[in-house]
């Protein structure tokens, strides 16, 4: 088992009880992020920005992880250590993370172009390209932190950027499975699997918010991604019809989905067990001193509305545009997970409302009032809004942390000295 624990130079020497005590959100101070337009500044203050106290606690963040992954400890860590030696020293860790995300997104979008309803058969090279994209993403995602430690550019921003990109790409990885197995032939299968996958990912960070440590099980992210890569390669060679072979009276793809469901359910129960047994804060609270059960409500606020929208639709718009529908859901789930990660790292209470929820709310209202707008057009526009909201949030959070810590996000050079007056030096918290 590998355990990683890195400490910030600015870490307080107070007791555990003091460290994990409750800190109500203070009155928001003026910020350089404001554009001096009252409505937009109000949106930024309540949706995108951290208070000065939250930024200070972010400086004090301690990254801790326990890794018992089979493949990681067997040979993948050695492979990643080998790969990182080829990176130039000027290559910023966050840029590595971003490149991996873009590659994964690009290959998934190509596959979704050929399989928009997850019932079509794509050319073999498209499945091969998706397998390569996922492997490239996995490698880049695993080596960004190693590059950060190699060049001395580690920071809390690196951990946040890494996990934030993971939350956004999680739906892309799941869609690869749906396209390879042609799960669009089963009603609601694509959405259910993506919703379940997003919930498991959220639960992993929920447990981290409770105990302050990210725990990887023996069969975790690396094993799951390698399984998806093997599935894509098999589909490229034999075609998606290979998964329709009957075994014991059941098709192979149904058996694979059932086994995957049982495995992830077992993993989720492990996360829930950690949560129910209480956090590290006072009286079993979270790292922010808040209830360990409250993060359940943002998760429900993401999943329940989309279940309502999908189940109440009398048309086949969502089935015929399942890729767009699931991508929108993935954006909303990613922002909820990002908020949870930020709350964990800054030891802050988690809010319930998020303006990105307007996407499913508008879809629900359109159904309630007998389709004022065309469902497909509204689905496209609400998806655009969801990703715009997610990108705005990520941009302002990243920029605010960079300004606070006096660093750049995508280069290893520091800003000019005159721009760092009054700003703390970069701490040495290991990224990953």
Tell the burial category of 337 from Cβ atoms under 10 Å away from its Cβ (0-12, 13-18, 19+): buried
The CA-to-CA distance between both ends of the chain, in Å, stands at 16
Locate 427 and state its tokens: 């701490």
- SS3 letters across 330-344: HHHHHHHHHHHHHHH
- Identify the bridge partners of residue 372 per DSSP, sorted by sequence position: none
Q: What is the dihedral of CA 276, 277, 278, 279, to 10 degrees?
A: -110
What is the Cα–Cα distance from 401 to 388, expressed in whole angstroms? 20
User: Residue 307: which of 217, 215, 191 has the closest Cα?
Assistant: 191
User: Residue 212: which of 315, 284, 128 has the closest Cα?
Assistant: 284
Query: Which sequence positions are flagged as catalytic?
Result: 163
Sign of the CA dihedral with 80 first, then 171, 382, and 340 last: negative
Tell the burial category of 98 from Cβ atoms under 10 Å away from its Cβ (0-12, 13-18, 19+): middle
């Amino acid at each position: 088992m590998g355990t990683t624990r890195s400490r910030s130079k600015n870490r307080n020497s107070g007791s555990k009880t003091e460290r994990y005590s409750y800190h109500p959100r203070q009155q928001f101070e003026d910020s350089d992020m404001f554009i001096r337009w009252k409505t937009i500044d109000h949106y930024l203050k309540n949706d995108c920005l951290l208070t000065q106290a939250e930024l200070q606690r972010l400086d004090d963040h301690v990254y801790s992880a326990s890794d018992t992954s089979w493949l990681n400890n067997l040979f993948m860590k050695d492979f990643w250590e080998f790969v990182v030696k080829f990176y130039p020293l000027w290559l910023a860790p966050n840029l590595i993370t971003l490149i991996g995300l873009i590659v994964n997104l690009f290959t998934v979008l190509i596959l979704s172009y050929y399989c928009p309803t997850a019932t079509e058969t794509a050319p073999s090279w498209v499945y091969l390209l998706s397998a390569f994209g996922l492997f490239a993403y996995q490698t880049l995602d695993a080596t960004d932190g190693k590059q950060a430690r190699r060049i001395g550019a580690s920071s809390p921003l690196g951990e946040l950027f890494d996990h934030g990109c993971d939350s956004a790409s999680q739906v892309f990885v799941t869609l690869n499975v749906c396209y390879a197995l042609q799960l669009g032939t089963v009603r609601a299968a694509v959405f259910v699997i993506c919703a379940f996958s997003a919930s498991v990912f959220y639960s992993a960070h929920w447990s981290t918010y409770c105990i302050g440590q990210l725990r990887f099980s023996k069969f975790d992210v690396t094993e799951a991604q390698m399984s998806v890569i093997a599935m894509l390669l098999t589909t490229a060679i034999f075609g998606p019809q290979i998964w329709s072979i009957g075994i014991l009276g059941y098709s192979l793809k149904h058996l694979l989905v059932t086994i995957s469901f049982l495995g992830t359910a077992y993993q989720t129960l492990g996360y829930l067990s950690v949560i129910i047994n209480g956090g590290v804060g006072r009286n079993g609270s979270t790292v922010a001193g808040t209830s360990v059960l409250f993060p359940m409500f943002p998760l429900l606020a993401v999943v329940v509305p989309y279940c309502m929208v999908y189940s109440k639709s009398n048309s086949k718009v969502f089935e015929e545009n399942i890729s767009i529908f699931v991508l929108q859901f993935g954006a909303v789930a990613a922002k909820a997970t990002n908020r949870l990660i930020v709350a964990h790292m800054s030891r802050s209470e988690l809010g319930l409302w998020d303006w990105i929820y307007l996407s499913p709310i508008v879809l629900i209202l359109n159904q309630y009032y007998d389709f004022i707008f065309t469902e497909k057009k509204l689905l496209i526009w609400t998806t655009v809004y969801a990703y715009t909201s997610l990108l705005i949030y990520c941009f302002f959070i990243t920029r605010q942390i960079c300004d606070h810590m006096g660093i750049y996000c995508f280069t290893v050079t520091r800003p000019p000295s005159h721009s760092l007056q009054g700003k703390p030096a970069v701490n040495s918290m290991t990224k990953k």
